[in-house]
Structure 1
Amino acid sequence: MTVLYGASIVTPDEIITEGWIATAGARIDAIGRGAPPATDAQNLGGGFLVPAFIDIHCHGGAGADFGSADAEQVDRAARYHRNHGTGGMLASLVTAPIEELCKQLAVIADIVESADTPLLGAHLEGPFLSQMRCGAQNPAFLTAPDVSAFRKMVDVSRGTLKMITIAPELPGAGEVVEAARAAGVVAALGHTDATFAQAATAIVRGASVATHLFNGMRPLRHRDPGPVLASLDSGIACEVINDGVHVHAAITRMVAERDPSQLVLVTDAISATGMGDGQYTLGGQPVLVENGQARLASSGSLAGSTLTMDVAVRRAVVECGLPLEVAVAAASTNPARVLGESSRRGRIAAGLAADLVHLDDELQVKNVICGGRRQP
C-alpha cells in the first residue's frame, strides 16, 4: 500500500485541501481527511491530485500517428500523451478506405489487448461523414453509411472499437447509429450538415456524443440552430477542443455553464503534437503547422491540433474561468461516463483505478501515476 498526502485532492464534488489517498496495487484503497494514517506516507509538497485525464478524441503525438497501422507508432503516441496526464484514451482514425481502416483497427486491438498502454480502444472519425463539412477528412474516401461495413470494422476490432462519428443526415446513418448502439459502440454526431431535426432524430435513435462541438458542423443560426443546439438541448456529451483556436474561451465556458456534465475536453491532437512547427500529414494529406496551429496545406482548414490534455485543463481554468473541479470532471469524469467506464476510472474514489496526476499550483504536470505506478 502507498499513501499520498500534501496535495489538495480534486473530486467532482469538492476539493479536499487536507487529506490523503491510499493505493493498493492498481486501485485506490481509501481516501481520508486530515493527517495520513501511515508514518511512511509520501508528502507531495503541495499542488493538486486529480484523476488521470481521459481523451476520447486523439490522432497521435510525438511524431507518431494512430492511423499508421504501425504498432511502434501507436505505442509511442499513447505514451507521449500519458506523460501529459492522459491515463485513458481512444485512438482516433480519420477517413480511409474500409480495408485500410480494418488494418488500423487490428493493430490498435493488438496493443489494447497486450501492452501496458493508456489506450482503451479506437474511435472511427469517419468514413460516414458529410462532404460539405469534411474539414481535414479526405473527401476521396468518404462513403455512405453502411451497416455491413460497420459490422466488418466491429468484428476486426475484437471489441476495442468504442466510438464512431457519423453525419446523421446521410441516407442509412440512422441504421448505423442503431447498429452501433446494439454493438456497444458509442455513436457520435460530427462532420455534419444536419438540421436541428435530423440531429435530434439521431439522438433519439441512440447518438450520445457531439464530435468537437461547433467544428465540422453546420453553424448555429437563430432560424437554423442545426446540430449544435440539438446536442446542447438534448443533454448529450459535447466534445470541445479547448486550445484557443478551435473555439473561443467563452464558448467553452458557455457549454460548462449550461450543464457542466455535458462538457468533454478533447485534444484532437495529431502526430505533430510535441514536435514543433513544420510539415506533417493526416490521413495522407499534407498538413502545415505554424505557431502550433495545424492546417491542411491545400485549403487552410484546421487539421486537428497540437494540444495535450494538461494544457486543455489549464486553459479551462486560467483562460475560460472554470472552477478546477469542473475542468477536471470535463477531462476525466465526463469522458469516463461516455465510455461506460465510470465504475473503473475517471474519479478519485475507493475501488477505482489508481490513475492519478499530480499538478503543481500552476496546474503543470509534476507526476503521473497509472495503475498505481509512477510513470518515468
Structure 2
Amino acid sequence: MNANHITTAQSVTNSLMREPRPFAIRNARVVDARGVQEQGWVVTDGETIAATGTSSDELESACARFGVDESGVIDAKGRNLTPGYLDIHTHGGWGVAFDDGAEAISIARACHMTHGTTRQILSLITNPLDVMARNIRVVREAMDTRPDILGSHLEGPFLALARKGAHNPDCLCDPVQESVRTLLDAADGSMRQITIAPERAHGVEAIRMLRASGVVPAIGHCNADYAMACKAIDAGAGLMTHMFNAMNGLHHREPGPIPAVVEDRRVTIELIADGFHVQDPMLRLAFELAPHRIALVTDAMAATGCPDGHYKLGALDVNVVDGHARLVSNNAIAGSTLVLEEAVAHAINRLGISPQDAVEAATLTPAKTFGFHMPNPITKAPLGLVAPGFAADLLLSDPQTWQVECVWCAGRIMPS
C-alpha cells in the first residue's frame, strides 16, 4: 500500500470523527437537479444545510442566526457548488478493494472522497458464499463509525455464466432461498442492492424475497429476455446494473432487458460514463431514453488512482493499460479506473449533457433509488440537493473542467 494513501485515509477518517462546525459558502455557481443559480450562497448549522439564497443581506442574517462568524465564510469565487456525489457501484481504489478488510475500506474510500464522492455503497465481488458473508459483515461494522458508508452492493454470486464478465465462474450459483438468507443475515439490514440474473433458477422468487427485506435487486450480468426482465421488475427489481455492459444488447427482434427498464419508470439505470465501457453515442442515447433515471456509477476497481500495471479483482488477474482494466485470462473488461468527478465532467464536456442533468445523475437520482433523498435512518438528513434540511455534503469544483477542489461530508471538511 502507498504510504501517502494510508496517511490520507487516516486523515479522512479523523475528519469524519470531528464535530462539525457551522460554515458558509458565498459567491458560488450553485448546480443541482433543480438547475443553475449564479451568485448563490449556503449556510450550514454543522451537519446540515440551514439556509440558501442569493441576497447578500440575507446571507449576513443567516450567518448571524446560525453562528457563522467571518472566519467561517468561504468565498467560492464563482466555482461550482454542488451536492456531494453518491456512487452506488464501486469496488475499490488506491490499490485495494472493499473486499480486502477494514483498512482497505478506509483507503479506497479516501481515494473516492478526495474526488468528490462523499457517500458510497461498497460493491463486493463474487466469492464463495462464506467469504461474501464475511465481507458483508466487515462493511456493516464500518457503517457504525463512518457516515460516508451507506451499505453494501453484492455483484454476484447470482449471475449468468455467459455474462459473468470479470467474476469467478466457479463461485456463481442459483439464488436458492438458503443462499439468499445467508447473505441477508450477514448484512443485518445493511445490504442496499444486489445484482442478479433473473433468468437463473429461483431468480424471480429471490427478487421478491430480497425486495421484501428492504434490498433493491438489480437486473444485470444476465441473458434475460424482455419478458423475463418485465417479470423481474414486477417482482421488485428497481435497478439495472451498468446498462449495456454484461447483458444482451438492443435488437429489433430480440429486445432483451434494456427496453424493459427504459419503459418502466420504477427502475434506475446505472451507467459507466467513461466513453470506453459505453461509447459516447450510446451514453447520450441513455440520457435521452431515461431522463432523470440515470445514475452515474464508476464500477471502479483497486487500480483506480494508481499507475498502469498488474492488479487483482477477487482471485482473478487483471492488467491495466492506459487506464483500462482487462482480465489476463480472456481480455474481458474488468471494472474501471473511473471516479465520479471524471464521469460528471465527461457527461458535461464530452456528451453535451446539461450541468444540472449530469449532477442529478451523480447525486439525487442514486439517492432516490434507496430513499436517501428523504430523512431516513441511514443518512439521517436527506442527500442530493443544495437545499435547507439536506446534508451538508458539498463540493466546490472548477466551472470549466469540473475538477473537484473542496469536499465537505456531513459538514466536515475533507483533506485534499
TM-score, normalising length from structure 1? 0.97
Q: Are the counterparts in 2 of residues 75 and 117 from structure 1 also a CA contact under 8 Å?
A: no
> Match for 1:110 among 117, 141, 145?
141
The C-alpha deviation readout for 1:28-69, integer Å capped at 9, x for no partner, is 00111232324723211121000000000000001111112x
Whether the 8 Å contact between 1:50 and 1:357 is mirrored in structure 2 is yes
Judge which range, 21-30 or 248-257, deviates more. 248-257
Does the 8 Å contact 1:95/1:125 carry over to 2? yes
Could you say what secondary structure the match of 1:163 adopts? strand
- Deviation string 1:173-215 (CA, Å, 9 cap, x unpaired) is 0111001111000100000001011011100111010000010
Tell me the equivalent position of 1:359: 397
1:117 Cα offset (Å): 4.9
**Alignment-derived partner of residue 316 in structure 2:** 285
User: How far does residue 11 in structure 1 lie from its aligned partner after superposition?
Assistant: 2.3
Q: Deviations over 1:154-180 (max 9, x none)?
A: 111121111001001111001110011
In structure 2, the residue matched to 1:318 is: 349
For 1:151 and 1:268, the matched residues in 2 are separated by 26
Q: For the residues of structure 2 that align with 1:231 and 1:277, how far apart are their CA atoms?
A: 35
Residues 301, 337 of structure 2: 8 Å contact kept: yes
Structure 2 letter corresponding to 1:7: A
| 1:75-132 deviation line (CA, Å, top 9, x unaligned) | 1101210111001111111111110001100111111112x35211100001001001
Counterpart Cα distance in 2 of 1:358 and 1:260: 25
Distance in 2 of aligned mates of 1:268 and 1:335: 14
Tell me the amino acid that sits aligned with residue 54 of structure 1: L
Equivalence map 1:86-101=2 (5 Å) = 86-101=117-132
Which of 204, 225, 246 is the aligned partner of 2:234? 204
Moved more, 226-235 or 199-208: 226-235
Match of 1:54 among 86, 97, 104: 86
2:300 maps to which residue?
Answer: 269
Of 244, 247, 252, the residue aligned with 1:217 is 247
Instruction: Give the distance between the partners of 2:138 and 2:45, measured in 1 at CA.
Output: 32
Query: Residue 391 of structure 2 aligns to a residue in which SS?
Result: coil
After TM superposition, list the pairs within 5 Å mapping 1:230-241 onto structure 2. 230-235=260-265, 236-241=267-272
| 2:166 maps to 1:145 | no
Q: Which amino acid aligns with 1:90?
A: I
Provide Cα deviations, 1:306-365, integer angstroms capped at 9, x if missing partner. Answer: 000000000000111100000000000000011210111111111111001101122111
Identity of aligned residues (%): 39
Pairing 1:195–2:225 present? yes
2: CA distance, partners of 1:87 / 1:214: 27
Measured in 1, the distance between the counterparts of 2:183 and 2:277 equals: 30
Amino acid corresponding to residue 33 of structure 1 in structure 2 = T
Aligned partners of 1:260 and 1:330 also within 8 Å: no
Instruction: Specify the alignment match of 1:345 in structure 2.
Output: 383
- Is contact 2:39-2:78 (8 Å) kept? no
Aligned partners of 1:258 and 1:244: how far apart in 2?
18
How many angstroms apart in 1 are the aligned matches of 2:117 and 2:181? 29
Q: 1:125 aligns with which of 147, 155, 176?
A: 155
Report the Cα distance in structure 2 between the residues aligned to 1:34 and 1:257, rounded to whole angstroms. Answer: 36
**Aligned with 2:161: secondary structure?**
coil
The residue number in structure 1 matching 2:38 is 17
Matched, 1:31 2:49: no
Question: Please, which of 153, 156, 162 is the counterpart of residue 186 of structure 2?
Answer: 156
CA separation in 2, counterparts of 1:188 and 1:170? 14
One-letter code aligned to 1:186: V
CA–CA distance in 2 between the matches of 1:151 and 1:81? 31
| Separation of aligned partners in 1, 2:178 and 2:367 | 29
Aligned mates of 2:210, 2:50 — CA distance in 1: 35
Matching residue within 4, 24, 33 for 1:3: 24
Answer yes or no: is the 8 Å Cα contact 1:59–1:269 preserved in 2: yes
For the pair 1:77 / 2:98, whether they are aligned, the reply is no
Q: Which amino acid is 1:61 matched to? A: G
| d(CA) in 1 for partners of 2:115, 2:152 | 20
2:126 and 2:294 mapped to 1: Cα distance? 25
Unaligned stretches of 5+ in structure 2?
1-21, 64-68, 375-381
Q: Give, as a single letter, the amino acid of the residue that structure 1 aligns with 2:342.
A: V
Instruction: Indicate the residue corresponding to 1:370 in structure 2.
Output: 409
CA distance in 2, matches of 1:84, 1:364: 8
Deviations 1:231-261 (A, max 9, x none): 1111211100011110011222112122321
Partner SS for 1:255: helix
How far residue 147 of structure 1 moved from its aligned partner, in angstroms, is 2.0
